A and B are shown apart, each in its own frame.
Chain A
Amino acid sequence: MLARDRKSSARGPGAVAAPARPATGATGVPDDASLLKMLYSMKLTRAIETRIERKLYRQGKIVGGVYVGRGQEAISVGAAMHMRRGGGEDHDDIVSPSHRDMAVFLMQGVPPERILAQYMGRRTGLTRGRDGNMHMGDLRHRLVAFVSHLGDSIPVAAGCALTFRMRGTDQVSFCFFGEGATSRGDWHEGLNFAAVLKLPVVFICNNNQYAYSTHVSRQMKVERVSDRARGYGMPGESQDGNDVRVVYEAVGRAVARARRGEGPTLLEFVTFRMTGHSAHDDAGYVPKALFEEWERKDPIRLFEDDLKGRGLLDAGALQAMESRIEAELDEAVAWAESQPYPDPEECLIGVYHEQA
């Protein structure tokens, strides 16, 4: 765990710095192919969210709100690299993403066009046009639907982990939330329950410093979300959420603990919400200097530079990756736009269990 910087006691917007980078973890370094996959996933996430938020939403093609994870992609991607998939009921991990974890959906195998159809309220969206944006899940991809009430996913994720315990498997439950959700009673109940029963949950906090317009200094009196871990008797770590390799390593350690039966871990990744709470919010309450500061720490650009420095990427390869993503998305958007809306008579089908 990081030593705390007690000097920054006069906290307010701007005072929350990313923690310094720790020594490398024990779980090994991703290979070259994995590194490139991580970059691709971060860029794909950024590109699809940019289209949704800055193009389709403004064209009036999106039904409902838009919540993006711009600037936070490294957290979902670094964590999703550790999710076991494709091995069946007693092998695959389960994930409870937050509304800023688009990358998790993509990496769990949800095609971009289905996500776009979801945002456009089409019949082929994940909720078949019954709900919009990130309010979706798909258990075939081991994705538990996001619960709008922030914090409510936490006891659900702990319950999933309890089923793994009861079945005697080494599966892991991944649980994502923001720093605002940590003030919720459900969050407390879920973490305490997981700690008492030593359940295999990896709790991942995207600390993007604003819960809508509430700065983290008005959310908690402790310096770090991970300071809460001790109160539950579980390990906690705070790390730089804009460095995908750091995220990868920290999540890897927590997953290994969980698989060994050593219980839950609380991970905090410090990052910044490079946008409003949702697409309609101009975030006028966030000091401009903060956006500028965190723009310089953009996780994608930092990672590109890192890979270039290692000789894994050059301008040509980057260009090719970007062209591939744009082409993929052109196709996905066209497909989604061609999809029908649900029939009004179908409104209630699938909304309640017996009608599914």
Chain B
Amino acid sequence: MSTVLRRSRKTPASRGEREPPPRGLLPDPPRPMQNPGLSRQQLREIHRFLCLNRLVEDRLSALYRQGQIHGGLYSSLGQEGISVGTAYALAPDDLLAPMIRNIGSLLVRGVAPLTLFLQFLARADAPTGGKDGTLHFDDLDKSIVGPISVLGTLIPVMTGAALAARMRGENRVALTYIGDGGTSTGDFHEGLNLAAVLNLPLILVVENNGYAYSTPTHRQFAVQSLAERGPAYGVASESIDGTDVLAVYAATRRAVERGRRGGGPTLLECRAFRRRGHAEHDDMRYVPKALLQAWEKRDPLDRLEGFLLHEGEATKKELRAAREEIGPALDEAARSALERPYPPPEETLRGVYHGTE
């Protein structure tokens, strides 16, 4: 694929280069991708969302380096297939609660790139009005529940959302995300157990990206795969290649169908790798270079493009056109967001506490 989409990153010299990678972090050999019954139009739409996800984050990264972003920036480079594949498998009124690496889920759900730029640039007309940054916002009209910074805490919230939907007689599933690190929190346990006991349609997507900040997974859990946690709660579980957006989509569809027919929650482990630091400021010198090299070859966008070409679903020219179409619109959105005002200081507390709207 074109270098436009891939930013070259120098990995600093580190102790990581001399040491073998922590066990269990190299990718398993890839299995050939398969079309789970999607039309050409749908496949191309998924491709467009992957490109959009990556290019939005690219622009955000550039803005961060220019000092325009307020607060942290958490990249999903290499994990975009998880956000896009899961969100694409949902109906528009299914409840969706993204975490900080799920810009792709928001894009699929119809959040405009302009909205994202306004939010990250902390402008007055951003969803949180410049009071908070990153993806810390919701949009209940789009059935989007906002992330909670405290990792794991969103899970019981989404269990509750699924319960509310059932009590109202609505057949909606609730999907949320957690990282490998978040699975060690008590809230993960309480939320998943309650969903299991009440047989709620919760889909818990575990993005196993190898590191929780600097903690590798073998210091996080003593199982081979987090899908092994499923039977411990009596819930269905699967471990999927998170770099294969179509496999992610297909597994999420199975989970959605299970939830809708009253089959209870699903735990989906999607294995990928965090190819950037924990956040933009983190040089991740603790990650061995060999791991980054191995996972770069498993890029979800490259893989989908290879599949589309191989299957004759698109030509090189069409893929390039799809990517190039996005760039100018994003540049325009970023420029227009930068022109918007910050909130006036006297509005600092407005909307922060209930009743101050």
Q: Which residues of B contact A189 (CB under 8 A)?
A: 184-186, 189
| Nearest CB in chain A: distance from B218 CB, A | 8
Q: Which residues of B contact A220 (CB under 8 A)?
A: 193, 196-197, 233-234
- A186: interface (CB < 8 Å): yes
Interface size on B, residues (CB 8 A): 28
Contact B221 A195 (CB under 8 A): yes
Q: Which residues of B contact A219 (CB under 8 A)?
A: 197
Contact A230 B186 (CB under 8 A): no
Q: Which residues of A contact B188 (CB under 8 A)?
A: 185, 188
- A30: interface (CB < 8 Å): no
Partner of B190, one of A183, A193, A227, A231: A183
Contact A222 B223 (CB under 8 A): no
- A187: interface (CB < 8 Å): yes
- A308: interface (CB < 8 Å): no
A-B contact count (CB 8 A): 84
Considering only CB atoms, which chain A residue lies closest to B218 in the complex?
A196
Q: Which residues of B contact A55 (CB under 8 A)?
A: none
Q: Determine, out of B80-88, B134-142, B224-232, B294-302, the stretch whose residues face the partner at the interface.
A: B224-232
Contact A232 B222 (CB under 8 A): yes
Contact A196 B234 (CB under 8 A): no
- A234: interface (CB < 8 Å): yes
Contact B231 A234 (CB under 8 A): no
- B220: interface (CB < 8 Å): yes
- Docked Cα-Cα span, A111 to B233, in Å, equals 41
Partner of B228, one of A187, A196, A222, A230: A230
Assuming the contacts A185-B189, A233-B222, asked whether A192 and B184 have C-beta atoms less than 8 A apart, the reply is: yes
Contact B186 A196 (CB under 8 A): no
Q: Which residues of B contact A230 (CB under 8 A)?
A: 223, 228, 231-232
Considering only CB atoms, which chain B residue lies closest to A218 in the complex?
B197
Chain A interface size range: 20 to 34
Contact A185 B185 (CB under 8 A): yes
Contact A195 B231 (CB under 8 A): no
Q: Which residues of B contact A193 (CB under 8 A)?
A: 184
Q: Which residues of B contact A188 (CB under 8 A)?
A: 184-186, 188-190
Contact flags A177-190 to B (C-beta < 8 A → 1, else 0): 00000011111110
Assuming the contacts A187-B189, A188-B189, asked whether A227 and B231 have C-beta atoms less than 8 A apart, the reply is: yes
Most buried by A among B186, B190, B194, B231: B186
- Docked Cα-Cα span, A234 to B222, in Å, equals 8
Q: Which residues of A contact B184 (CB under 8 A)?
A: 188-189, 192-193
Q: Which residues of B contact A218 (CB under 8 A)?
A: 197
Q: Which residues of B contact A222 (CB under 8 A)?
A: 231-234
- A85: interface (CB < 8 Å): no
Q: Which residues of B contact A187 (CB under 8 A)?
A: 186, 189
Contact B234 A221 (CB under 8 A): yes
Considering only CB atoms, which chain A residue lies closest to B223 in the complex?
A233
- Docked Cα-Cα span, A234 to B196, in Å, equals 22
- B96: interface (CB < 8 Å): no
- Docked Cα-Cα span, A229 to B233, in Å, equals 10
Q: Which residues of B contact A184 (CB under 8 A)?
A: 186, 189-190
- B219: interface (CB < 8 Å): yes
Footprint of B on A, CB under 8 Å?
183-189, 192-193, 195-196, 198, 218-222, 227-234
